[in-house]
Amino acid sequence: VVQSKGAFDETIRGIMNLKSVGAEVEIRVVVHKQTYEGLADLSDFIFRNLTFVDHVTFMGLEITGFTRANMDKLWMDPYDYRSELRAAVQYLAAARINVSVYNHQLCLLDGSIHQYAKRSISDWKNEYAEECGGCSLRNKCGGFFSSSSLAKSSHIAAFQ
In a domain, residue 69? The reply is yes
Kindly list the distances between the CA atom of residue 141 and the CA atoms of 8, 42, 150, 157, in Å, as whole numbers in the listed order. Answer: 32, 26, 20, 12
pLDDT at site 82:
98
Q: What is the DSSP string of 47-90?
A: HHH-TT-SEEEEEPPP--THHHHTHHHH---GGGGHHHHHHHHH
Residue 157 lies in a domain: no
Look at the chain and count its residues.
160
Q: What gap in Å lies between CA 79 and CA 104, rounded to an integer?
A: 10
> For 99-149, how does the pLDDT look when each residue is reduced to its tens digit (9 = 90+)?
999 999 999 999 999 999 998 888 887 888 888 889 999 889 988 887 766
Q: Does 100 fall in a domain?
A: yes
Residue 156 lies in a domain: no
Q: Does any domain span residue 45?
A: yes
Q: What is the pLDDT of residues 15-41, one digit of tens each?
A: 999 999 999 999 999 999 999 999 999
Single-letter amino acid, residue 114: H
pLDDT band at 89 (very low <50, low <70, confident <90, very high): very high
Domain range for 47 is: 7-150
Is 2 a residue whose pLDDT tops 80? no
Total domain count, the chain: 1
- d(CA 61, CA 58) in angstroms, rounded, equals 10
3-state secondary structure of 109: coil
Q: What is the pTM of this model?
A: 0.92
The reply to whether 125 falls in a domain is: yes
- Position 47 scores a pLDDT of 97
